[in-house]
Amino acid sequence: MTSALSGLSRRAASVLVAAGLLAGGLALVSAPQAAASTTSTIRPISVAYIDSVVPNTSLTPLPMGDMPVGAFHSVDGRTHVSKSYFTFDISAYRGATLTFAALFGRETAVTDCTTTLDTQAWLTSTARKPTWNNQPTEQTQLRGPDNETGCPANTLGWSGLAASC
């Protein structure tokens, strides 16, 4: 995410930043030979989120597995800004020719459906116990989100092919 965080009032599950590639699920299509291809979906090997209100703490998924993304106000009136990090082991694809790579997730709660969706996904440096004060370096922003349906959106997708090259 950029530091500006403009318009982030939606909260998403299984979407945002990752070290490796990203998300609730990462879909990869590789073509080891000209006529054959293999489709794989991989799950993250680690997840964490950060919250601006607790800048030195690395947090784990909320009950039900939700990962907060964006800004929200808590009952005590404080404004929280959260980012979620997903790490994938993509070592099995080293040397493969990828024809498709995408990150998929869905929203489980939205603060305000009248605002424009502004959730971003980034390839980052390795996210080892990230905190607000110690965030992984953002390297490549993924194109998207696409496939938005409803509010909360049932399907969000980001193209990861450019980031995987």
**What's the pLDDT tens digit per position in 90-111?**
888 778 777 778 888 888 888 7
Residues sharing a CB contact under 8 Å with residue 114, sequence separation 6 or more, in sequence order: none
pLDDT value at position 159?
Answer: 86
**What phi and psi values does residue 39 have, to the nearest 5 degrees?**
-110, 135
Rounded-to-integer distance, Cα 151 and Cα 107, Å: 8
pLDDT of residue 60 exceeding 60, the answer is yes
Give the tens place of pLDDT for each residue, 18-48.
322 334 466 556 555 555 677 788 888 888 9
pLDDT value at position 76?
Answer: 94
pLDDT value at position 4?
Answer: 27
Secondary structure of residue 129 in the 3-state scheme: coil
The larger pLDDT score, comparing residue 137 to residue 118, is at 137
Residues sharing a CB contact under 8 Å with residue 112, sequence separation 6 or more, in sequence order: 9, 10
Write down the pTM of the prediction: 0.75
> Which range in 3-17, 49-63, 101-115 is most confidently predicted, on average pLDDT?
49-63
Mean pLDDT of 9-26: 35
Lowest-pLDDT choice from 5-19, 25-39, 133-147? 5-19
Rounded-to-integer distance, Cα 118 and Cα 70, Å: 9
Rounded-to-integer distance, Cα 141 and Cα 126, Å: 15
Q: What is the C-alpha radius of gyration for the chain, rounded to an integer number of angstroms?
A: 16
Q: Report CA 1 to chain centroid distance, whole Å.
A: 9
